[in-house]
Structure 1
Amino acid sequence: MERSRFIELYLKDLEEGNAAIFAGAGLSASAGFVNWKELLREIAAELNLNVDRESDFVAIAQYYVNSKGQNRGQLNKVLLEEFPADKNPTECHRILARLPISTWWTTNYDRLIETALTDEGKVADIKYQVNQLAYTKPNRNVTVFKMHGDVEHPGDAVLTRDDYEKYAFKRGAFLNALTGDLTSKTFLFIGFSFTDPNLERVLAQIRYRFAENQRPHYALFKSVSEHDCEDVEEFEYTKNRQAIVLEDLKRFNIESVLVDSYDEIPRVLTEIYRRFVQNSIFVSTSAHDYSPWGEQDVHSFMEKLGGLLIERNLKVVSGVGVGVGNALLGGSILSLSRHPEKRFDDNLVVRPFPQFPNDPGKREALWDTYRRDMIARAGIAIFLFGNKQAGNAVVPATGMQNEFEIAKELGLFVIPVGATGSISRDLGRDVRSIPQPVDVGEKGLEILDQLQEPVDELDRILGPLLDLIDILKEAS
């Protein structure tokens, strides 16, 4: 499947809340975890086997346990040593954790998924034992099913052929839950080789039950290259085999998306995230001095802006800027109240800045982290006004300058509205020279120029600003 088409389709499921992830060992590889071959290298050597000449690694694990009189203590020790808890999530983990994906499945033992989700402030309900399926963690917004167990409980992990053969009897409830999710959600398989017999069993059941009405799913694969092979003959063979395997996945309505290198996978996920947050608008604003329009007109303008953004099905992200942030939120909330079908959390992210700790240095460091987290949730950033009170004086709001730099660094399309004066005017002076992630064409650039021109009435800004957002949405 073409990458652009996959992104378009998966985005639709994300927006509708139907997207899920199935993570295989490949997702964790770049964090420094070993693969099955390296995990079992020393164990295979004890059996006088060359792991490089083997392909059935589950069998090797079983042979080893057999040689120890069914004692798997050493195998458990290897698992604990090779999957330490202090590894950091990969870029792919972090991107996926930001997306509104409430269902994760994995065959991995590590805890990178849980860590990435927790870092994003999400409450993850982790299921790695059958009895956990019967309980729901309070206030959860993500469920992670670790169908092969967890590194901290190696004795219960699915490692050997015995474990796989008994899976339906000991862990059958996981298969039932997975069947339900594969039926009702659209999965993206990432870092997964499709050699797991338990998943094959579930996919076959769904295929027989739903025939041509199976839900579509997607899988990211690295295409075979000559660099992966010792010679041309091996390359042709491996390439042909991959094509056959990918064609077979279509029986289960799994469409494959090929990338040329593993480095491309984070870029694909980043594009999904960028496209998803393109409907989210971060509004950076601060005002103590309302001249020349006056406080009432400025508040009225901000209230209208908040309402119009919601009316256009955009999500408003705000740190509640001094003096005008409440007016923006008021307009947004008023619009939401007129549309009961719209959920508050889907249309408004409110992140007031914490005023503690008292130590200025610590507070600034906290605010920087806070700003980055908030801005990363949007695809477009609008900058309005930008002044504040310091003692008896009105001074530039340097926080807005910081937010502008962060937004550029994170790849947002930045829209300084110089017509509102203060810091925004300074940011918009060379607006055409600002590197932007999306080409809005000459018309878009003309609107950007227009937004820098002084206005007698602030409401005259609304039309051009919304037109530019529409151009951005179409260009994305």
Structure 2
Amino acid sequence: ISTYWTTNYDDLIEKALDNEGKIADKKFTKNHLSQTKKGRSAVVYKMHGDASLPDQAIITKDQYESYPLHFAPFVTALSGDLVSKTFLFLGFSFNDPNLDYILSRIRIHFEQNQRQHYCIFKRVNRADYSNDEDFSYNLLKQQFVIKDLARFSIKVVLIDAWNDLTRILEEITKRFRCKNVFLSGSAHEFGSWGQTATELFLSKLGEVLIQEGFKITSGLGLGIGNAFISGAIKEIYNRKYTKIDDYLTMKVFPQFVADPTERKNIWTAWRKDLLSQTGIALFFMGNKIVKDPESGKQTIVLADGMDEEFHIAHELGLKLIPIGASGYKAKELFNQIISDFDHYYPDSTPKFREAFEKLNEEVDEPVKLLSKIHDVIKLI
């Protein structure tokens, strides 16, 4: 979310953004509107002022009535956002005369072409009232408010308890992030498929995901990442007027950290940062070469970094898709999910489980996995 509007004077929104490592550009005076904070992540418009300047807060009836005159730039900015952005109103009673004034002007100008907005209300509940008369009055009042807001193209969603609000916001976040796919994997050896066929498959997978409108995030895993993002980049450039940044995030793991403990900590933080932006994690192959410091002998082992990415992704609530047919660590992770499928995919349909299990079926060439991966992602 890049834009917040609030009539509150407190700094809870700014603190929440700060806790997520984001820079908030606060605007609560007219002069703030003409300034831009460098590196900002979100703009927070505080249309009735801020607690740090209590003498300038909008709080009296006179101030409300003269607001369109004295704070015309805020009215213009809010009007522009209501026309061009989708709003989700939370904890808002719609008794604010300033907003009522702005919404009325927009409705007059745009009539049937208003932007669709949303609002969440707690349903009027009999248990909250001491008698039937008060309950009936407030129920009718809520129904009239809902009908009135429909004139401004604001759809009201009713919930039974405030806890439902948290769950709704979490679900919106998950669905939004599911348009961003992370590929976890590494390969020093490529099994019976061979390097050429594997790289062709990865390139095609990158192309298909971009064609389907997904964004791709990659840490450029050894032997895996380059082919994957190459296919994605090729498809992006084939699209006219498309920017790389809109579809692709690449963050190479920092290699030159001498201290092993420090390097491990940095890589863990790096993985959390990458995965927190995504909603689906694909796991492919997962092997690496290690060298015995005494004998100098090289051995192929399963990639332990992929294990960590799997656990972080699970903690963050990502949809986990290990491609078991690719073998190595991905095969191990696939078996782990299948052995406790309801834990990783609660309330999944038989159709989804059937599609998921096909990811473990052996194929003579990896390109045959494309349709199977596509089916699973589509069902998600």
Q: Does 1:219 align with 2:122?
A: no
Question: Which one is further off, 415-424 or 245-254?
Answer: 245-254
TM-score by length of 1: 0.71
Match of 1:412 among 274, 297, 318: 318
- Asked if 1:425 is matched to 2:296, the reply is no
| 2:252 aligned to which of 352, 356, 369 | 352
CA distance 1:245–1:311, shift in 2 (3 Å): closer
Deviations 1:265-295 (A, max 9, x none): 1111122222222222221111223333333
Please state how far the C-alpha of 1:465 moved relative to its aligned partner: 1.6
What does 1:18-417 correspond to in 2, within 5 Å?
101-120=1-20, 122-138=22-38, 140=40, 142-355=42-255, 359-391=259-291, 392-417=298-323
SS at match of 1:186: coil
> Alpha carbons of 1:460 and 1:363: their partners in 2 closer, same or farther (altered >3 Å)?
same
Structure 2 stretches of 5 or more lacking a match? Answer: 292-297
Q: Deviations over 1:9-62 (max 9, x none)?
A: xxxxxxxxxxxxxxxxxxxxxxxxxxxxxxxxxxxxxxxxxxxxxxxxxxxxxx
Offset from partner CA, 1:421-446 (integer Å, 9 cap, x none): 11111111254332344766444433
Measure, in 2, the Cα distance between the counterparts of 1:129 and 1:380: 41
Going from structure 1 to structure 2, the CA distance change for 1:210 and 1:339 (only over 3 Å counts) comes to closer
SS in 1 for 2:360: coil
Q: 2:359 aligns with which of 437, 451, 454?
A: 451
SS at match of 1:283: strand
Give the conservation status (yes or no) of the 8 Å contact 1:411–1:437.
no
> 1 CA distance for matches of 2:99 and 2:310?
46
Residues 173 and 334 of structure 1, relative CA distance in 2, 3 Å threshold:
same
The 3-state SS of whatever aligns with 1:199 is: helix
SS of residue paired to 1:149: coil
- Verify the 8 A CA contact 1:417 1:424 in the aligned structure 2: yes
Percentage of identical aligned residues: 44
Q: Is the 8 A contact 2:121 2:157 kept in 1?
A: yes
| Structure 1: gaps (5+ residues) | 1-100
- Paired with 1:362 and 1:151, the residues of 2 have a C-alpha distance of 42
The 8 Å contact of residues 197 and 366 in structure 2, kept in 1 or not, is answered as yes
Decide whether the 8 Å contact of 1:382 with 1:416 is kept in 2: yes
Contact 1:411 1:436 survives alignment (8 Å)? no
SS of 1:292's equivalent in the other structure is: helix
Q: Distance in 2 between matches of 1:299 and 1:200?
A: 58
Work out the CA distance in 2 between the residues paired with 1:122 and 1:288: 38
How many residue pairs get aligned? The number is: 372
In structure 1, give the amino acid aligned to 2:201. Answer: F
Any conservation in 2 of the 1:128–1:148 contact (CA below 8 Å)? Answer: yes
1:375 and 1:248 map into 2 onto residues whose CA distance is 42
TM-score by length of structure 2 reads 0.88
Cα distance change, pair 461–211 in 1 and its aligned pair in 2 (3 A): closer
Of 424-433 and 440-449, more deviation after overlay is shown by 440-449
Shift of 1:345: 2.5
Q: Distance in 2 between matches of 1:359 and 1:126?
A: 40
Q: Distance in 2 between matches of 1:144 and 1:317?
A: 28
Tell me, in whole angstroms, the C-alpha distance in 2 between the residues paired with 1:302 and 1:102: 33
Residue among 368, 371, 377 paired with 1:463: 371
Does the aligned pair in 2 maintain the 1:413–1:438 contact within 8 Å? no
Match of 1:54 in 2: none
SS in structure 1 of the partner of residue 330 of structure 2 = helix
Shift of 1:146: 1.3
**Does the CA-based 8 Å contact 2:337-2:344 persist in structure 1?**
no
Deviations 1:148-169 (A, max 9, x none): 1223333322233343244233
* Structure 2 SS opposite 1:113: helix
SS across alignment from 1:428:
helix
- Residues 197 and 358 from structure 1, CA distance in 2 versus in 1: closer, same or farther, beyond 3 angstroms? farther
Judge which range, 176-185 or 436-445, deviates more.
436-445
Give the aligned residue type for 2:244: F
Q: CA deviation at 1:314?
A: 1.6
Distance in 2 between residues matched to 1:356 and 1:192, nearest whole Å: 51
Which residue identity is paired with 2:242?
Answer: K
Deviations 1:348-399 (A, max 9, x none): 1223334576554454444334333422332322110112233333322112
- The 1:367–1:159 alpha-carbon spacing in structure 2 relative to 1, beyond 3 Å, is farther
The CA distance in 2 between the partners of 1:149 and 1:361, in whole Å, is 47
The 1:158/1:352 distance shift into structure 2, 3 A limit, reads farther
2:295 aligns to what? none
Quick one: structure 1 residues 270 and 289, their matched pair in 2 at CA, closer, same or farther if it must change by over 3 Å? same
Q: Decide which moves more: 313-322 or 432-441.
A: 432-441
